Structure 1
Amino acid sequence: MSKPLFYGKQHISQNDVDAVLDTLKSDFLTQGPKVKQFEEALRTKVTADYAVACSNGTAALHLACLSLGVGVGDEVWVPAISFVASANCALYTGATVSFLDVEPLSGNLCVDDLSKKLARAAEQNRLPKAVVVVHMAGLPCDMQAIANLCRPLGIAIIEDAAHALGSTYINQAIGACQYSDITTFSFHPVKSITSAEGGMVLTNNPELAQKIRTLCSHGISKTNFTTDTQYPSWYYEQQELGYNYRLSDLHAALGLSQLDKLDDFVHQRQALASRYKQALAELTWQTSPTRGSSAFHLAIAFFPKDRRDQIYLALKEQGIHCQLHYMPIYRQPYHDVGATNYVRFPGAEAYFSTALSLPLFPDLTHNDQDRVIEAIKELI
């Protein structure tokens, strides 16, 4: 049987291995220089003012919500199509979550639905504390339009860019925070680059950056003290209830090595996605960005609603492991919104019933991609 092909896979080269081994032999396995180097390199890459590394993308989202003061009594709006972490980050703080519909051929937040929901919320004096914006599969959302709606109302914007490191919007890298308060990244193995596990929080606001850094490490400060008493260098203060969300130097060393290859990874993903679209022109594909570029974390194609699952299973039997990204979060049993409410999200329902992510990663060979293409051609 042919080797299995998965929807995503990391690329690890010898220099990645060497970077981790060098750090393993160094004086610091954690809280050492590599974390700061990784933060500075990524901050510079996306042209943000501040960056704080953390243990994973979910921790990054949680820190974003905490730093913005999201808590009990607040509401956070989240696009219906995303991984559950995009909503969980607000729930962890005690806030409630309300869902926004998405565009059926992109999976991105529907600006028209946001506009209408904001108008209703303003009339009821129930505006959200924050809106989470997810760049689905790396496809940039219309951040300018979203900011024009939210900023005049004092609503914070969090970019969940777990899929979008390497994407651009209006000639700027996603992560520059031009139209948001905070951007978060994930370095899970299937993302644009990997640190095995890891995340990053970026902002241009110095107060938010300091808050995020303190919350990331137990709520402890080693520099900004509440007392004028002079203590030796061992002194530190826990100033609030924080978390142990720190990234280790081992993870940072891998992330730093991978970051050097980001541009090549994105170029390879874009070329493979273009090749899929040319070879399978009879399929409908995720909408192309109009004011930027996608890093193509995923290659999302749309199949007939009555055949999508059949095609998924047939490909799986051939060792081609596709995936659905994602079932609407409101359909998860935890949220229990009730099937009668699904009609409130026509875009999300249309996306959910037809989308499928095909194998796409930098090491995917043309021969392996042709195998996927030919299998799909036979099935459709």
Structure 2
Amino acid sequence: MIPYGRQDIRQEDVDSVVEVLQSDFLTQGPAVPAFEAAVAKATGAAHAVAVNSATSALHIACAALDLGPGDTLWTSPNTFVASANCARYCGAAVDFVDTDPVTANLCPGRLEDKLRKADRAGQLPKVIVPVHLTGLSCDMAAIGALARKYGVRVIEDASHAIGGRYGDKAVGACEHSDIAVFSYHPVKIVTSGEGGTAVTQDAALAHRMARLRSHGITRDPAEMTHPPDGPWYYQMIELGWNYRITDLCAALGHAQMARLDDYVARRNTLADRYDRLLGDLPVTLPGRSDGVLSAWHLYVVRVDAARHREIFEGLRARGIGVNLHYIPVHLQPYYRALGFAPGDFPEAERYYTEAISIPLYPAMTEAMQDEVVGALAAELTS
């Protein structure tokens, strides 16, 4: 089976983890700030806060922006459930903005229409979470301009997109957003096993997210409500969570960050080759955007909806580990119980009936890629 994604672990990664195992700190040690510094440098963000998953990063980002009961978060329906669930963790409501038919990202035109109507109704969201699906940045200049116009905060769900670029800036530079979030799950661009970071240019937001990841506790006397009892003293000044990343995971992530540019370059080479090899087949190739360098976490083709399941199952039977990203969030039972229904976001639903993620990862060889293309061609013409 050729998987749709796979981690690349090398001796330097193993050595970095072993070094931590032989050190004094397995958690809350020096590997975490080193990893954070590497992420901040790569993205151009002033601050990076590492946590145990991108889901946790989304949660503390929402909490740092004071999202709560009575507020609403808008995101794309074509994403993993975490992009919406982070609002529910804070007691906020969720709504969705339908996607662009070419990129499958949140559509700025539809966002503008929805914001205009929400403004008239006095029901503007507090936070928008655009999702950089497959590693391709959303049109952040357009989204950021709308957010500023309507007084809305922006969290980029860049879980797929570390190493990508939007214009002349790295994804995560937060030029058009308050916070951006990355994932380091094993199939992502770089991995820390499990882990995530929230990056920002805002020191106050970074400081609060760092506090929230560790129970809302501070050891800084300046933040305490009364003087400390002694050098051991700490205070929990707000409700937080145990979202800390271990030094083991951080060390792996730090080692992987040294190869970030190489990984993204290899993924782009493979994606360009897929475009050439698949150009004459009856599939819709992934959309691209001018001035945007995708990190190419996923390569998604779209096929005839009438044959979608047949082709998907046929590829798996041929040893091609395809997947589907994603089932629209509003169609999940939990969100249907909140009032969403089929037909609410037709573009995302159409994408779901056609999309197949085919294998793409840095260690993939051209021979493996040829096997994928051959299997897809055989299924399409059978």
TM-score bracket for this pair, using the shorter chain length: over 0.9
2:16 pairs with 1:19 = yes
Matches of 2:85 and 2:105, distance apart in 1: 18
SS at match of 1:335: helix
User: Aligned partner of 1:41: which letter?
Assistant: A
Residue pairs, 1:66-85, within 5 angstroms: 66-85=63-82
How many residues in Structure 1 have an aligned counterpart in Structure 2?
377
1:143 pairs with one of 140, 144, 147: 140
2:272 matched to which residue of 1? 274
**Shift in alpha-carbon separation, 1:221–1:276, aligned structure 2, 3 A:** same
Matches of 1:338 and 1:93, distance apart in 2: 16
The normalised TM-score by structure 1 is 0.97
User: Aligned partner of 1:319: which letter?
Assistant: G
1:242 matched to which residue of 2? 240
User: Aligned partner of 1:205: which letter?
Assistant: D
1:260 matched to which residue of 2? 258
1:129 pairs with one of 126, 130, 143: 126
Matches of 2:356 and 2:41, distance apart in 1: 34
Structure 2 segments unaligned to the other structure (5+ residues): none
User: Aligned partner of 2:206: which letter?
Assistant: A
Matches of 2:213 and 2:230, distance apart in 1: 24
Instruction: Note the C-alpha offset of 1:40.
Output: 0.9
CA deviation vs aligned residue, 1:68-121 (integer Å, no higher than 9, x gap): 000011010010100000000000000010011001232200111101110110
2:365 matched to which residue of 1? 365
Instruction: Note the C-alpha offset of 1:151.
Output: 1.1
1:379 matched to which residue of 2? 379
SS at match of 1:344: coil
Instruction: Note the C-alpha offset of 1:189.
Output: 0.2
User: Aligned partner of 2:190: which letter?
Assistant: I
Task: Indicate conservation of the 8 Å contact 1:108/1:136, yes or no.
Answer: yes
Matches of 1:172 and 1:226, distance apart in 2: 38
Instruction: Note the C-alpha offset of 1:321.
Output: 1.2
Structure 1 segments unaligned to the other structure (5+ residues): none
The alignment-based identity, stated in percent, is 45
The normalised TM-score by structure 2 is 0.96
Residue pairs, 1:90-101, within 5 angstroms: 90-101=87-98
1:47 pairs with one of 36, 44, 48: 44
2:171 pairs with one of 167, 171, 174: 174
CA deviation vs aligned residue, 1:248-272 (integer Å, no higher than 9, x gap): 1000000000000111111111111
CA deviation vs aligned residue, 1:16-72 (integer Å, no higher than 9, x gap): 001000110001000000000111111011110111100101000000100000001
Residue pairs, 1:1-380, within 5 angstroms: 4-223=1-220, 224-227=222-225, 229=227, 231-281=229-279, 282=281, 283-336=283-336, 341-380=341-380
User: Aligned partner of 2:252: which letter?
Assistant: L
SS at match of 1:157: strand
CA deviation vs aligned residue, 1:162-202 (integer Å, no higher than 9, x gap): 00001100110001100000000110000010000000011
CA deviation vs aligned residue, 1:117-164 (integer Å, no higher than 9, x gap): 101100110000100010000011100000111112210000000000
Mean Cα deviation higher: 149-158 or 250-259: 149-158
Mean Cα deviation higher: 108-117 or 345-354: 345-354
Task: Indicate conservation of the 8 Å contact 2:228/2:234, yes or no.
Answer: no
Matches of 2:122 and 2:276, distance apart in 1: 49
Task: Indicate conservation of the 8 Å contact 1:49/1:202, yes or no.
Answer: yes
Instruction: Report the aligned-residue RMSD.
Output: 1.4
